[in-house]
Every structure is written in C-alpha cells, then in structure tokens.
C-alpha cells in the first residue's frame, strides 16, 4: 500500500498493482463515457478471456476497472484499501489516459476527413473527365465539321463563336479538375505535380529541390495542397518551393514575398492528421516562410 501511495510514474500503476497483488496477468482499465475501455496509453483494451473484472468505485461511480485472475479480489476490504492507497496515482493516470484517447480520436477523425475529401476530389476529377469534358470535346468536333461542310453558310461566324466558347469551357473544366485533385499527383508523384503547378502559376514559382521518388499518397497530397493553397490564398508576386526527403521525413518550405495567408487551419489539420507539423514564419525581408514537416516512412 505504501508503494501505491507513492504515485508511480504515468503508466506504471497497473504494473505496481500487478506486483503488489502477485498477479502477472492483471491489467488496469479506464472506462470512457461512450462505453469503451482504455489502458494507461489511451488505447482500447478489454479484459482477457477468463479474467475477473473488479470495478474501483469512488463517489458511487467506477473510476477504473481491474482485470485479474478469478478470486483475487473477492475481499471487498482489499479493494477499498487499493482505492484509498492509489487514489492520487489513479486520478493522475486516468486523466492522462483520457487525454491520450481524445487525442487519438481527434487524429483518427482528422485522418477520415482528409481521406474523404481526397476521395471526393478524385471522384469529381474522374466524373468531369469522363462526363462533361468528353461531351464538350464531341460538341467541339461536331461544330468544326459543320464549319468545314458549310463554308458558304451565312451563319459561319456564329459557328466560329460557338466553337470558341466550347473550347473556353473545356479549358475551364480542365482547370477545375486540376484544382480538385491533379491527375499528375496520382500518376507521377509530388515532384511532377509541383512542376505542373509552376507551369500554370500566374506568377513566377521557383522549384529549388523536388523529391525524385514517389511517397505515400496521403503525404504527397498534404504537401501539394499546402503549396497550392498557399499560392492561391496569398497571391504572391514571387514564390519558391524546396522539398526534400531525409531521415524518414518530408520537409517542404514555401517562401513568398507576401504576408501569411489569413486562414491556414484546414492545412494545419491536414498536416496534423499525418502527425506532421506546419510552421509559419515572417522573414526579415517582409515575406513569409511556411515549413511543413511530414513523416514519410
């Protein structure tokens, strides 16, 4: 009891109870409001097959559960002594376990949001390419054939205008498809996608270094959209991108000659969902440096 009252380090209370009670199979679980049970690290866990479960109750509600060999805690007095002796350690570890579980839930939720968003972008890009874009191509071809077959037709100017409008609509659709989820990113990887972005950018975009190999799709997508959205929202006159992989991490730095974009929360969420970090710095010359650090195996 004295050892338990000394507050073992976080995560060590279960081991201390196991040693004190002489049960190597003993595990300490914490109930969550939604009915799940977690260990000290916030991971879901259930009692083993054949184990007994004893709730540790304080104030009329269970604060923890002990899974143990049958018959170990049949004495109610012993359970009360454990609760009293380990009270501080129990409260400390329970709160930390709940925080860890909440963080893991948040990380999982963010990952689902990002994954659904990317899947929707890919679907829209595919639908636009196979649907409306193909129909407009066919229409443009039909108009061209009509133009060639009716050179003496007084409505020739109208046909030419219609063809020009269709071609403009096609270009707009292609731009929309690239913005939703560029096919180059899926087919050729981050380096090629950034090169295509530089070619289409309204202002000069310098690419200093680019990864030569393909990385995990979610990592490449996060890096690409941070660059693309930074340029879109900040509208800098000049920008430079440096992307390199080292020690199992992808580091992307975007430097612009403008102040930081006003809203980056969604990009921070996208990067954070992958256990990455996004840092915004104002450089002395008056521009902005955005650094993205992503684990990439």
Does one domain contain both 167 and 187?
A: no
Q: How many folded domains does the chain comprise?
A: 3
Does one domain contain both 141 and 56?
A: no
Q: Is residue 215 part of a domain?
A: yes
68-114: pLDDT as tens digits: 999 888 888 888 887 777 777 888 888 888 888 888 888 887 787 78
Does one domain contain both 204 and 271?
A: yes
Does one domain contain both 91 and 195?
A: no
Q: Is residue 123 part of a domain?
A: no
Question: Who has greater pLDDT, 162 or 51?
Answer: 51
Q: Is residue 193 part of a domain?
A: yes
Does one domain contain both 86 and 137?
A: no
Question: Who has greater pLDDT, 21 or 173?
Answer: 21
Evaluate if residue 123 carries a pLDDT over 80. no
Does one domain contain both 173 and 187?
A: no
Does one domain contain both 163 and 85?
A: no
Does one domain contain both 159 and 242?
A: no
Q: Is residue 256 part of a domain?
A: yes
pTM over 0.75: no
Q: Is residue 96 part of a domain?
A: yes
Q: Is residue 119 part of a domain?
A: no
Across the beta sheet with 249-256, the strand order is 205-209, 239-246, 249-256, 288-295, 277-282
Does one domain contain both 187 and 168?
A: no
**Where in the sequence is the domain holding 65, given as residue range(s)?**
2-104
Q: Is residue 111 part of a domain?
A: no
Q: Is residue 148 part of a domain?
A: yes
């Amino acid at each position: 009891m004295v050892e338990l009252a000394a507050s073992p380090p976080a995560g060590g209370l279960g081991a201390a109870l196991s040693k004190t009670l002489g049960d190597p199979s003993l595990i300490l679980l914490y109930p969550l409001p939604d009915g799940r049970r977690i260990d000290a690290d916030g991971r879901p866990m259930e009692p083993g097959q054949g184990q007994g479960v004893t709730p540790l109750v304080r104030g009329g509600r269970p604060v923890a559960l002990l899974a143990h060999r049958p018959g170990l805690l049949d004495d109610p007095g012993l359970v009360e002594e454990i609760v009293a002796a380990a009270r501080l350690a129990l409260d400390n570890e329970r709160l930390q376990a709940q925080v860890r579980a909440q963080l893991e839930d948040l990380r999982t939720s963010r990952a689902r949001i990002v994954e659904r968003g990317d899947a929707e972008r890919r679907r829209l890009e595919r639908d636009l390419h196979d649907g409306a874009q193909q129909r407009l191509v066919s229409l443009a071809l039909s108009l061209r054939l009509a133009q060639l077959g009716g050179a003496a037709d007084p409505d020739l100017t109208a046909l030419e205008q219609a063809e020009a409008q269709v071609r403009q609509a096609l270009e707009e659709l292609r731009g929309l498809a690239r913005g939703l989820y560029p096919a180059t990113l899926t087919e050729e990887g981050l380096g090629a996608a950034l090169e295509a972005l530089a070619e289409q950018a309204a202002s000069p975009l310098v690419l200093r270094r680019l990864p030569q190999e393909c990385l995990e799709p979610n990592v490449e997508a996060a890096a690409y959209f941070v660059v693309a959205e930074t340029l879109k929202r900040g509208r800098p006159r000049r920008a430079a991108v440096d992307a390199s992989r080292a020690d199992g991490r992808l580091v992307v730095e975007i430097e612009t000659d403008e102040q930081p974009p006003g809203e980056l929360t969604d990009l921070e969420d996208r990067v954070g969902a992958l256990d990455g970090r996004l840092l915004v710095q104002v450089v002395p010359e008056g521009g902005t440096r955005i650094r993205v650090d992503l684990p990439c195996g």
